[in-house]
Chain A
C-alpha cells in the first residue's frame, strides 16, 4: 500500500515526475500550471535535483534539453502562450532525440485568453506546434490519480523512444483536489534511456542500423559527440540534400507511429453494446462518463471512449467504433479541433457531432445527455 494523499492535479504531476526519476526542472510561471513549478522548487533541492526559474519559456525549454543531455530526466510545465513559446525548442528535442517531458495545463485561448479557465484548444498545437514533419506523443489524463501515473508513463515513453512527450490536461483537473495513492517505489515501472555499450571511438549517436531508437550517451560520460538541430547523419553531423534526411525523418515518425500498440492508451466505458458513442478526454471525458450513466438509466445505449494518449491518435479504435454505432459525439472545450480527427477516422461510417464550449466553463453532463437524446 502506497501513501494516500489529497492532492491537486498539478501537484500530482510533480509527484509523478519525481517518482519517475526527474531531477531537473526549468520553467517560467504561468497560470494555471504554476503549482507544478512551485512543487518542484520545494521538492527538488531536497533530493539533490536542480530547479530553475528561467527568464522565459524559451530558455526553460532550452535548459530542459541541456539538463537532459547532461544526464538528468527533465521536466517543464506551462500553459497556452508559454507552450507556444516552447515549440521551436520542442522541435529541436524531437530532431536531436533528447528525452524530456512538457506539461501543458490548458487554459482558454487564443492569446492570453482565459488564464484561469479550462480549455482544450491547444490539442492541435500539441501535435503540430513546431515546424516540419515530426512525430508527437501527447497524453491526456483526466483524474488526479491519472495525472500522477500518466506523468510517470510520459517519462518512460520519453526515455524509451528518445523523444519529447507532452502531457496536456485542463485547468479544472490541474487545480482539482482528489484523493490519490502514490505507490511505493518499484510498483510502477520506471524506464531509463538505453546507454551505448560500444567503445566511445565507435559510438554513433544516431546509428539506426540496429533499430529505430539508437542508444543515447549523456554528455561527460566519455562519448564526445555532436548534437545539432540541422538534419544530420548517423554521426550527428549535418547533412545536406542527402537521402539520409528523408529516411531519417521517416524513422523519427516510425519510432512513434510504429509503436502505437505500446503508446496508445484509452479507457472504454459501456461501449460493447453502445448505439451512440462519445469521444472525450480530460475534463470533458469526466462529464461524458456521468452523461453515459445518466443515459443508460434512461435506456439510451451510450458508451464512452476516453483516450489517455491523444497523439498518436487512436485511429484504429475510433474507426472500429464508427462501424458499430449510429453516431459519435465529441464534446470539447474548443470550437472544434479533435472532432476533425474523429471524423477523419470515422470516414462517414457514422454521424460525428460536436459539443463546443469556449466560455471558460466546462461542458456539463446535462449538455451531453441532451445531445445523446437528440442523436440516438
Chain B
C-alpha cells in the first residue's frame, strides 16, 4: 500500500510554495516517512524553522509548528526543548539560515549537544530572496550578488557541526531519498544534537544560472557526486576528487546531553534539599 501522507498533512494548506523542480518536496516526504516509522505521537513533536524556502515546511505538517525569524530557529527550539525536555524537537533550516545569519546559534547548539535534530536543507543559494550567494555556494558559481562568480570560500557543514561538538552528523541527498529516511530516523533516535545536511537542488535561482540545463541535471549531479561514506573512505585520494561522502559521517554515543545534565543537576539539588 502506498504511504498515506495525508495523515500528516494539514488539510487545505497545499499546494506548497516550492518551485517546479525543487527537491524540497522529496525531503518533506522523507521526513514524514521517518516520523511514521518512529511511531511518534504528533502532539509530542515541535517542528521549528527560520526563514527561507525550507522554513515554510512546518506550515504543511500537522505537528506543533513554529516559523520564526531568520536564522533563529535553533534559539526558539532550544527554549522549547529546555522547557519540555521529554518532547521531540526538530529544526528545518536552509544553508543561509543555519550557517550565515544563524551560524552562531548553530555552533552553540552543537556545542551544548542538546537533543534536537537539525535538518539543514543545502541548496547552495538563497532561494526565497531570489538567488543571492550563501556560505555554501560553490566557488566560481554565479549568484545575483556574485555576478562575476563566487569568490567566498564555502562552509563544509558536517565538518562545521562536528568541530562545534554535535554528536551525530550525517549527509544525505534528495536524489538518494530512501537512504535519507534512514538518516533522519537515526538522527532522531540519537540522544544529543544531530545534524543532517541534505543536498538539495534549486533549479530556479541556482541551477539555471550555473549550467544545469534542467532540474534532472541537478539530481544527476547528486547521483554522481555523493558516495556512501564507507566506500568513500576506501577510495584512493585521486578518485575522491570532486566527490563527497554521504551517510552517517560522525557519531558519538554517551556524550552528556544538555537537558539531561541540567535536569540531573535539578534532581541532585532537590535530593540535597530533602536531606537537609
Beta-carbon nearest neighbor of A45 in chain B: B266
Asked if B78 and A59 sit within 8 Å, CB to CB, the answer is: yes
- Known A-B contacts A224-B43, A227-B67, A237-B13; the reply to A63 vs B75 at CB < 8 A is yes
Secondary structure type dominating chain B contacts: helix
Is there contact, CB below 8 Å, between B59 and A50?
no
Instruction: Give the contact stretch, choosing among A67-75, A132-140, A257-265.
Output: A67-75
Of the candidates A60, A227, A230, the one having the most CB atoms from chain B within 10 angstroms of its own CB is A227
Chain A 54-69 interface mask (CB, 8 Å, partner B; 1/0): 1110111111111111
Q: Name the A residues within 8 Å of B43 (CB-CB).
A: 220-222, 224
Contacting residues, chain B, for A334 (C-beta < 8 A) = none
**How long is the Cα–Cα vector from A222 to B58 in the complex, in angstroms?**
17
- Contact of B84 with A220 in the complex, beta carbons under 8 Å: yes
Please tell me if B270 contacts chain A, counting CB pairs below 8 Å. Answer: yes
Q: Of the candidates B76, B81, B105, which one forms a contact with A65 in the assembled complex, judged by CB atoms under 8 Å apart?
A: B76
Question: Among the listed A26, A62, A71, A219, which residue makes an inter-chain contact with B69, where contact means beta carbons less than 8 Å apart?
Answer: A62
**Docked pose: A58 CA to B70 CA in angstroms:** 11
Given A71-B83, A228-B59, also A62-B262 (CB < 8 A) = no
Nearest residue, chain B, Cβ from A219: B64
A226–B9 Cα distance when bound, in Å, is: 12
Asked if B80 and A69 sit within 8 Å, CB to CB, the answer is: yes
Give chain A residues whose Cβ lies under 8 Å from the Cβ of B180.
Answer: none
Contact present for A67 and B69 (CB under 8 Å):
no
Residues of B within 8 Å of A67, CB to CB, are 79-80, 82-83
Asked if residues B68 and A92 are in contact (CB atoms below 8 Å), the reply is yes
Q: How far is the CA of A123 from the CA of B2 in the complex (A)?
A: 59
B213 at the binding interface (Cβ < 8 Å): no
- Whether B251 sits at the interface, judged by CB under 8 Å, is no
Check: B28 CB closer than 8 A to any chain A CB.
Answer: no
Q: Are A66 and B262 in contact (CB under 8 A)?
A: no
Any A CB within 8 A of the CB of B212: no
A229 close to chain B: CB less than 8 A: yes
Interface pair B265/A45, CB less than 8 Å apart: yes
Chain A contacts for B79, CB-based, 8 A: 24, 26, 52, 62-70, 74
Instruction: Mark interface residues in B40-65 (1 if CB within 8 Å of A CB, else 0).
Output: 00111010100000000011001111
Complex CA distance for A221 and B84, rounded to whole angstroms = 11
Complex interface: chain B residues within 8 A of A228 (CB): 59, 66-67
A88 within 8 Å of B by Cβ? Answer: yes
Are A56 and B104 within 8 A (Cβ)?
yes
Known contacts A45-B269, A220-B64, A225-B64; A58 and B80 CB within 8 A of each other = no
The size of the chain A interface, using a CB distance under 8 A, is: 43
| Minimum distance in angstroms from A231 CB to a CB of chain B | 12
In the complex, are the beta carbons of A46 and B108 less than 8 A apart? no
For residue B157, give the distance in angstroms from its CB to the closest CB of chain A: 18
Shortest distance between the CB of A241 and any CB in chain B (Å): 15
Q: Which of B77, B79, B262 has the most CB of A within 10 A?
A: B79
A169 CA / B53 CA spacing, docked (Å): 41
Query: Which residues of B65-97 have CB atoms within 8 Å of chain A's CB atoms?
Result: 65-69, 72, 74-84, 87
- Contact A63–B82 (Cβ < 8 Å): yes
A74 to B76, CA, bound (A): 12
Please, how many angstroms separate the alpha-carbon atoms of A214 and B13 in the complex?
22
* A305 to B105 Cα, complex, angstroms: 44
Q: Given A58-B72, A66-B77, A89-B72, does the pair A229, B84 have CB atoms closer than 8 Å?
A: no
* A53 to B201 alpha-carbon distance, docked (Å): 37
The complex places the Cα of A351 from the Cα of B269 at a distance, in Å, of: 59
A79 to B22, CA, bound (A): 44
At the interface, yes or no: A48 with Cβ under 8 Å from chain B?
yes
Q: Is B273 an interface residue (CB 8 A)?
A: yes
Distance in Å: Cβ of A24 to nearest Cβ of chain B: 6
Q: A238 in the interface, Cβ–Cβ < 8 Å?
A: yes
- C-alpha gap A10/B265 in the complex (Å): 25
- How far is B83's CA from A52's CA once the two chains are assembled, in angstroms? 10
- Chain A contact residues, CB within 8 Å of chain B: 23-24, 26, 45-46, 48, 50, 52, 54-56, 58-72, 74, 88-89, 92, 219-222, 224-230, 237-238
**7 contacting pairs across A/B (C-beta < 8 A):** A48-B270, A55-B108, A59-B72, A70-B87, A220-B46, A225-B65, A227-B66
Q: Add 5 more A-B contacts to A225-B64, A229-B68 (CB < 8 A).
A: A46-B273, A62-B78, A64-B79, A68-B79, A74-B79
Among all A-B residue pairs, the 4 with the closest Cβ atoms? A66-B79, A62-B75, A63-B79, A59-B75
